Structure 1
């Protein structure tokens, strides 16, 4: 049996303060996403600088990656933006990237159009 490949996906990338990543996942799930992956990073933007007892502080960031079918991308981005109040400076950033093909997800059939690897190779 050939592996299933999901087509025409978007990856929504959301960068928020550390500890807020799960909120982003929750907002995206409420809007129809299956889940997300939270990565941890360190901020270096204009809202991320500070000093504590003379030491530079670089706040922790959560980077949330959410794969969604292209047709619900904007609904999910809107839900995330509203939920984290992205219109307020320093509350985060959210953008999307086109993903042509993806495989390996357990819920791949919920990602819209799928084909087998054999169908793609023909």
Structure 2
């Protein structure tokens, strides 16, 4: 049997202040997601500008990537948005991207439609 490939997923990208990425993962799990990946970055938006002793400060950001089946996208985004109070300026941004195919997740069978690589190549 070939490797399993999950089809028609959504990747929810959430950008929040550094140190709050785990909260995003927890909120997404409450809505049924399996987990997420937290990346670290620097902010440069209007709410990120700051000075300390005359030096520009670039605040740390957490970027959380959450893969979900397409049918879970809105409920997970809603839970994340509510949890981080996204409607308050400066609390973060959340958006989704279509993912046609993905492989390598240990819980791939929980991601809705799957096919083997052999099936996709035939």
TM-score (norm 1): 0.99
Partner of 2:22: 22
Partner of 2:100: 100
Q: CA RMSD in A?
A: 0.4
Cα deviations by residue, 1:40-95 (Å, 9 ceiling, x for unpaired): 00000000001000111010000000000000100000000000000000000000
CA distance in 2, matches of 1:51, 1:110: 46
The alpha carbon displacement at 1:2 in A equals 0.4
CA distance in 1, matches of 2:52, 2:72: 43
3-state secondary structure, aligned to 1:71: helix
CA distance in 1, matches of 2:17, 2:87: 15
Q: Which runs of 5+ in 1 are unaligned?
A: none
The alpha carbon displacement at 1:103 in A equals 0.2
TM-score (norm 2): 0.99
Partner of 1:2: 2
CA distance in 1, matches of 2:119, 2:5: 10
Deviating beyond 6 angstroms after TM superposition, the runs of 4 or more aligned structure 1 residues are none
Q: Which runs of 5+ in 2 are unaligned?
A: none
